[in-house]
Chains A and B, each alone.
Chain A
Amino acid sequence: MQSDTSLSPLDKTRREALGVVALWILSCAWTVGYSLSAAYRQDPDPPLLFGIPTWVVWGVLLPWGVILIITCWAAFFGIKDENLDEDALAHLDTAEDLSAVEAPHG
């Protein structure tokens, strides 16, 4: 795998996006997969944990907690910063700037 420093901003963003897609697939497989196996029943006396049906605890709350931790890690360490200063970016010469209608305020 290439090191971070040798990657262009676009490649870094692509890599982060693919990471999120992989995490989405995992969270979907866990939540929907577990719920399919445990939630589709009709027990008149459902097993509860802290008053919550156990399938909700293991199929929704637990993955939610795990994803929350991963999201916090990504926000502080995983996602790389990029210089988006308008002066530092290449601009399209062909783009028509219709936003420059200046307001005579006051």
Chain B
Amino acid sequence: MDSLAPLLSLVILMVASMVIGMMANKASEKGGFLKGYFLGNRGLGSWSMALTATVMSGGTFMGFPALVYQYGWVLALWIASYMIVPLCTFAILGKRMGRLSRQTGAITLPELLRERFDSPSVGMVASLLMILVLAFGLISQFKAGAIILQKVLPTLPGVDPTSEILGQSPQFLYGLAIFTVVVLSYTLYGGFLAAVWTDLFQSVLMAIGILILFPLAMQQSGGLAAATRAGVDAVGPGFAYAPGAGREFLPPGLALSFFAMWSIAGMGQPASLVRLMAFRDTPTLRHATFLLAVYNTLIYLPLVLIFICARAILPGLERPDEVMPSLALKVASPWMAGLILAAPFGAVMATVSGFLVQISSGLVQDIYHRFLNRSATEKQLRVLSYTGMIVIAIAASAAAMKSPKFLQALIVFTGGAAACTYLVPAVMAAFWPRATAKGALSAMLAGAGTILALYIPGWISGVDPGIGEKSNFFPFYLFGIAPFVWGLLASAIAGVAVSLTDRPPDETRVNVLFS
């Protein structure tokens, strides 16, 4: 029975998520389908905002621990800017996005940009880029979900667990299939609110999981000092210092880049921006700022400490991406391990459901309803929403079989690409009356284009630049700086320059939105 305990814990989590999906479905029905399904009727409270609006994902609980295990204490510097994420995410754009979305009646981010700039082209480009970026981001999340499940699923009868199908173990494929079905089911049923509520539920589980794992890891490693010395003995002094053990993981240029990455890129994520359109009122926003600050402190700092300890507990792990489930199964009792494993699994499920809702809203509301069929019935929109989600989930699930070795590499790319595309247009929309549609369009295209231009040569050549994360997904670090910084810079320059050379926007519209 004990051997099934981790699996049973995950099954309970999956069932709970489905129940939440059903409750969300009921709550969404209070308003119209679109506003309820894609925006939760603008009724998010402080806890929902705080624990679901940032970039916690499979990366936080699977990819990040793998990096700490691999490179050591330098990861404390890598994630240091999470200290200021709550203020950046909520205090800079929060009130303006909340106000603009209400004034324009926008339900999705592309819709808000289109109405603010009075340009269907801006809306269309924003939708297409969002679908592209988020669909890519889904791949790593599906892989993370499958990795956790394969660790706890019983071996299939009559199947050799060491055999390979399509380059993957049967356990991995089995886990991937189950994960896909579960996450699709509750997201399809409950929409935005299901994604947010399950995210909230799972965020609380994550905190519990981390707080259980922390003392267990400390105890079994003999304490932080012993773990640090074990790491230094195993992989050299780089384990305790920058730029990291065994590789120039975080040279000075990248230290600066990643300080900007988490705090600034977090503001530009479509999932974060759409939540800024969905909060109830400004006290909600303030309380969410406080809650997120406390939550980030309780999550990120202990994560570093736990996986420093993992070096002493699990020396020589071949697949670093599996360090989280491996550590949980090693240090805790089976039932406790199940609860701990529910944390990363919950994080992955929450991210996937959020992405699916965003992609579906882009397809249905921003493209089909806006451009192809303005008189669509609710039934047509509902069917299309469900179909879009299913197709995207299956495609991402298939792509997960061939994704890079290190999850975090994909997550950094998609997070950076999304921020380079949306952050500057969102800031221009919120604070700059002189910003024009052509400026916003240029900002989106320049940001997305720059980051792609810096990643594509790396994918094609496959040449290891010798810095940053070791992966098979290398970008080109121009002057040692991460592509995200260049993309954001290009986006800002293009947005400002094109707006200033363009005809000023319609005064009446600007007066209403900036009154």
Count of chain A residues near B, Cβ 8 A: 66
**A64 and B240 contact, CB distance less than 8 A:** no
Kindly report which residue of chain B lies nearest to residue A27, judged by CB atoms: B84
Find residues 1-32 in chain A having any chain B CB closer than 8 Å to their own CB. 9-10, 13-14, 16-17, 19-21, 23-24, 27-28, 31-32
**A28 and B431 contact, CB distance less than 8 A:** no
**A95 and B104 contact, CB distance less than 8 A:** yes
**A101 and B377 contact, CB distance less than 8 A:** yes
Interface centre among B95, B228, B259 (most CB of A within 10 A): B95
- Given known pairs A27-B84, A92-B509, the reply for A71 and B92 (CB within 8 Å) is no
Residues of B within 8 A of A56 (CB): 73, 76-77
CB distance from A81 to the nearest CB of B (A): 4
Kindly report which residue of chain B lies nearest to residue A35, judged by CB atoms: B77
**A64 and B509 contact, CB distance less than 8 A:** no
**A76 and B286 contact, CB distance less than 8 A:** yes
Decide if B91 is an interface residue (CB 8 Å cutoff): yes
Decide if B155 is an interface residue (CB 8 Å cutoff): no
B235-278 CB mask vs A (1 if < 8 Å, else 0) is 01110111100000000100110011001000000000000000
**A104 and B228 contact, CB distance less than 8 A:** no
**A13 and B95 contact, CB distance less than 8 A:** yes
Decide if B395 is an interface residue (CB 8 Å cutoff): no
Residues of A within 8 A of B102 (CB): 84, 86, 89, 91
CB distance from A72 to the nearest CB of B (A): 6
**B77 and A68 contact, CB distance less than 8 A:** no
**B105 and A99 contact, CB distance less than 8 A:** yes
CB distance from A96 to the nearest CB of B (A): 8
Within the complex, which residue of A24, A91, A99, A103 is in contact with B107, where a contact is CB–CB below 8 Å? Answer: A99
Q: How far is the CA of A19 from the CA of B294 in the complex (A)?
A: 20
Kindly report which residue of chain A lies nearest to residue B369, judged by CB atoms: A98
**B91 and A79 contact, CB distance less than 8 A:** yes
A72-88 CB mask vs B (1 if < 8 Å, else 0) is 10111001111011100
B42-84 CB mask vs A (1 if < 8 Å, else 0) is 1000000000000000000000000000000110110011011
Place the interface of chain B in its size category: 35 or more
**A51 and B223 contact, CB distance less than 8 A:** yes
**B32 and A101 contact, CB distance less than 8 A:** yes
CB distance from A58 to the nearest CB of B (A): 12
Q: How far is the CA of A97 from the CA of B509 in the complex (A)?
A: 16
Within the complex, which residue of A17, A51, A85, A86 is in contact with B224, where a contact is CB–CB below 8 Å? Answer: A51
**B378 and A90 contact, CB distance less than 8 A:** no
**A92 and B512 contact, CB distance less than 8 A:** yes
Kindly report which residue of chain A lies nearest to residue B107, judged by CB atoms: A99
Decide if B86 is an interface residue (CB 8 Å cutoff): yes
Residues of B within 8 A of A55 (CB): 241-242
**B105 and A95 contact, CB distance less than 8 A:** yes
**B81 and A43 contact, CB distance less than 8 A:** no
Find residues 10-51 in chain B having any chain A CB closer than 8 Å to their own CB. 29, 32-36, 42
**A91 and B81 contact, CB distance less than 8 A:** no
Interface centre among B91, B232, B263, B374 (most CB of A within 10 A): B91
- Given known pairs A76-B286, A98-B34, the reply for A17 and B301 (CB within 8 Å) is no
**A72 and B293 contact, CB distance less than 8 A:** yes
Q: How far is the CA of A56 from the CA of B86 in the complex (A)?
A: 21
Residues of A within 8 A of B84 (CB): 20, 23-24, 27, 67, 71
Q: How far is the CA of A91 from the CA of B437 in the complex (A)?
A: 19
Decide if B497 is an interface residue (CB 8 Å cutoff): no
A45-57 CB mask vs B (1 if < 8 Å, else 0) is 0101011110110
Kindly report which residue of chain B lies nearest to residue A91, judged by CB atoms: B103
**A31 and B80 contact, CB distance less than 8 A:** yes
B346-371 CB mask vs A (1 if < 8 Å, else 0) is 00000000000000000001000110
Decide if B325 is an interface residue (CB 8 Å cutoff): no
Decide if B515 is an interface residue (CB 8 Å cutoff): yes
Q: How far is the CA of A48 from the CA of B305 in the complex (A)?
A: 13
- Given known pairs A84-B281, A95-B115, A103-B32, the reply for A27 and B83 (CB within 8 Å) is yes
Kindly report which residue of chain B lies nearest to residue A98, judged by CB atoms: B369
Interface CB pairs A-B, < 8 A, 17? A21-B92, A24-B88, A24-B263, A28-B81, A32-B259, A35-B242, A36-B252, A42-B237, A46-B240, A64-B301, A68-B297, A71-B293, A79-B91, A81-B281, A82-B95, A92-B513, A94-B118
